[in-house]
A = this chain, B = another copy of it.
Amino acid sequence: MTYQPPVRDHAFLLRDVLEIEKYADLPGFEDAAIDVVDQIIQEAGRFTSEVLAPLNAVGDKQGCTWNPDHTVTTPKGFKEAYAQLVAGGWPALGADTAYGGQGLPHVVNLSFSEMSSSANMAFSMYPGLTHGAYSAILNGGSPEQKALYLPHLVSGNWGGTMNLTEPHCGTDLGLLRTKAVPQADGTYRISGTKIWISGGEHDMAENIVHLVLARIEGAPEGVRGISLFIVPKFIPDAEGKPGARNSVFCDGLEEKMGIHGNATCVIRHEESTGWLVGEENRGLALMFVMMNEARIGVGLQGIAQAEAAYQAAATFAKERLQGRSLTGPKNPDGPADPIIVHPDVRRMLMDSRAVIEAGRAFLFWTACRATWPTPALTRLCARRAMTTWP
């Protein structure tokens, strides 16, 4: 099937339902005029349908390949598409202008994300998790950490990941065993194994920034003893360029149905060098910045897949000839009518469309309230968004 980006639906939602021009007077949003946003959405539709969608089946069938030197090769064409993504400035859409971002409302970024997730969910998870790592460091990192890492995560020439789950702990992070040992130079040595790490290793970015939950030696048990660390694959040198290889390794790929194009990794920290983000033992609160963003992201993935499925179903219903309409032939010159004439087929399509449109509206509205480039703006916008919905 050919993915048709729902550009008109998105524009209608942003302009006429959410009225995002109401936010245009907020600091940093002078450029979010509706005609600019319209152009961005149209270009997003072009990029996702022309560049990402053709790689969806390739990614599913070919998948990622783990190599014995602990590198991962992405499916054919992914690397070139990722370079186009970075060149087009897409990862920077909703990011802070102080770090090279375009400072647009997160909901504009979400419009792009839905389209890229419909077109190629496996691919879209790479920049998706990078944006999550950006948000966590933006909220909790030191000025030096922000200056060092954020511009690269914003541009997308470095990737980001979320190292939470361990084989024995997923929802109950208080059980986690990954250990952090403080060093004289202020860094930590991290040891432990993380699983299900999306985008944990790949060949598309020049560096990968792992955000890792670990327990500092001697810390309390449970969730009150968890700290957050930055563990870059290549340790930035004095000029901030990728330097020495850190001892964090991908030990293999895991199976997640439908996203074979995304590298789902077992990640082993072998006394890897990490830098504490925020305060000791307060890591979970910071990780929740990333997790909350991921929650909106997972809702978005649901809408995106439903939209893609709806488009495939609607196209098929118009082409597939089976049976005759109850009210007389609608395709009298053909051997049968297209199945879209049957009431139950129409009902299923209409149900899908209603759920998708309502779900998308709710998702975009939530994004307007929840996630803006800075915490102060988020609070301001949350109050304002309350006035734009019944």
Contact = CB atoms under 8 A, between A and B. Distances in A.
A170 B322 CA distance: 8
Given A169-B322, A171-B323, 12 more contacts: A168-B321, A170-B322, A171-B322, A172-B321, A172-B322, A172-B323, A172-B336, A174-B336, A175-B321, A175-B322, A175-B335, A175-B336
A251 B312 CA distance: 27
Interface in A212-234: none
Interface in A312-359: 321-323, 335-336
A323 B223 CA distance: 11
Contacts of A170: 322
Copies assembled: 2
Contacts of A322: 169-172, 175
Interface in A154-170: 168-170
A321 B171 CA distance: 10
Nearest to A169: B322
Interface in A172-189: 172, 174-175
* A interface majority secondary structure: loop
Nearest to A323: B172
Nearest to A170: B322
A172 B321 CA distance: 8
A245 to B, nearest CB: 34
Contacts of A172: 321-323, 336
Nearest to A221: B335
A150 to B, nearest CB: 34
A62 to B, nearest CB: 16
Nearest to A257: B257
14 contacts: A168-B321, A169-B322, A170-B322, A171-B322, A171-B323, A172-B321, A172-B322, A172-B323, A172-B336, A174-B336, A175-B321, A175-B322, A175-B335, A175-B336
A272 to B, nearest CB: 25
A276 B184 CA distance: 88
A144 to B, nearest CB: 36
Nearest to A168: B321
A23 to B, nearest CB: 38
A321 B322 CA distance: 52
A349 to B, nearest CB: 17
A260 to B, nearest CB: 14
A129 B174 CA distance: 51
A305 to B, nearest CB: 16
A304 to B, nearest CB: 21
Contacts of A323: 171-172
Residue in A168, A170, A172 with the greatest tally of chain B CB atoms within 10 Å = A172
A322 B176 CA distance: 11
Contacts of A335: 175
Contacts of A336: 172, 174-175
A175 B336 CA distance: 8
A84 to B, nearest CB: 31
Nearest to A337: B172
Interface string A259-290: 00000000000000000000000000000000
